Amino acid sequence: MDESNHWYGHSRILGRYCGLPDETPKRIQGFLQHGWNYLHGFPPNDHWCSPGYPRFLWSDVLRRRGWSMGRRGQYLIGAPWIYLLYQEPELGVTSERKGTIWYPFHGWEKYSVSGDHSRLADEIRNVETGPVTVCLYWLEFANPDIRRAYESRGFRVICHGERGSRWEHKGRDFLRRQLIQLRRHRRVASNRLGSALFYGASVGCEMAVYGDPMQYDDERPEYGGTARRLRLWPELHSTHVDPGLAGEVARRELGFDYQATPEELRRMFGWKPSGVGTGRTSPRHEVRP
């Protein structure tokens, strides 16, 4: 339906969960939330969403917020991440986790971010006590000056890859690569709340949010900016966040309670039954109690 349904390998993860062939991702009849969002799950100006098609959301708080703004046709299925964990309970698991994986806030193809990466790198070096891996979005990773700001402080700099489309292979293993890295690290940190932090907390990483939050050059006012994030989640903005609390929030924001069965997803997405389904047993999720 929309190219964003295939970013980061989401449609492939859900297709495999439903027992469908992996050669070509299936076309989802609707719009799938592709990242953590503290508005209603989608961009403020979503004129690109064809009227009448359903929206598939991660969490109930987004459904309720969307309903209050007049949005209908919303379905709770949880994040594609939880379906990946269901299918890959041991991927990347190590006997000893070390250091911190740090995700600087990033721009995207239409909007760049204003901020001082050198100053942020200095702050990371002053806070973190173990080895640091800095994971950059592909646009920032392609910028040698930004990479150098972190590499010159002795940090390992990586990228999980580009986000792909239905026909490209760029993003098909994005979340798998991210899962492997998160399970190798003891901490996950960023200068803004985002998907990566909740993914990390869901697999046992300690969480931290600190540093210059940076800004989009034309940030949408509907989100409410840094002030709103601090007002809604003050307990998550610290160099050390309570692990139990981080796991609880991650579970809620990623929608672990709303994991659908393969049969339910096939029906909601307009997929005809094909192949053998995975069945449904008690999933093993690594969110801390």
Every domain of the chain and the residues it spans? 3-88+255-269, 100-251
Q: What is the pLDDT of residues 143-176, one digit of tens each?
A: 999 999 999 999 999 999 887 655 566 667 899 9
Q: Which of 24-38, 57-71, 80-94, 164-178 has the highest mean pLDDT?
A: 80-94
Let me know: does 16 contact 87? Beta carbons within 8 Å: yes
Residue type, 112: S
The two tokens of residue 194 are 């985002």
For residues 79 and 108, what is the distance between their CA atoms, to the nearest angstrom? 21
Task: Say if residue 100 is exposed, middle or buried (CB neighbours under 10 Å; 0-12, 13-18, 19+).
Answer: buried
Let me know: does 199 contact 182? Beta carbons within 8 Å: yes
Higher pLDDT, 125 or 66: 125
For residues 195 and 34, what is the distance between their CA atoms, to the nearest angstrom? 9
Confidence of residue 35 (pLDDT cuts 50, 70, 90): confident
Q: What is the pLDDT of residues 261-287, one digit of tens each?
A: 999 999 999 887 654 434 443 333 444
Return the CATH number of 100-251, one of 3.40.50, 3.30.460, 1.10.3470, 1.10.10. 3.40.50
At 138 the three-state DSSP class reads helix
Query: What's the chain's average pLDDT?
Result: 85
The two tokens of residue 144 are 């040698």
Answer whether 0.85 is exceeded by the pTM: yes
**Strand ranges in the chain using DSSP code E only, listed in sequence order:** 31-32, 55-57, 74-76, 100-103, 113-114, 132-135, 156-158, 187-190, 206-209, 215-216
β-sheet with 132-135: strand ranges across: 156-158, 132-135, 100-103, 187-190, 206-209
User: What is the structure's pLDDT at 60?
Assistant: 92
The C-alpha torsion from 223 through 227 and 230 to 231, rounded to 10°, is -90
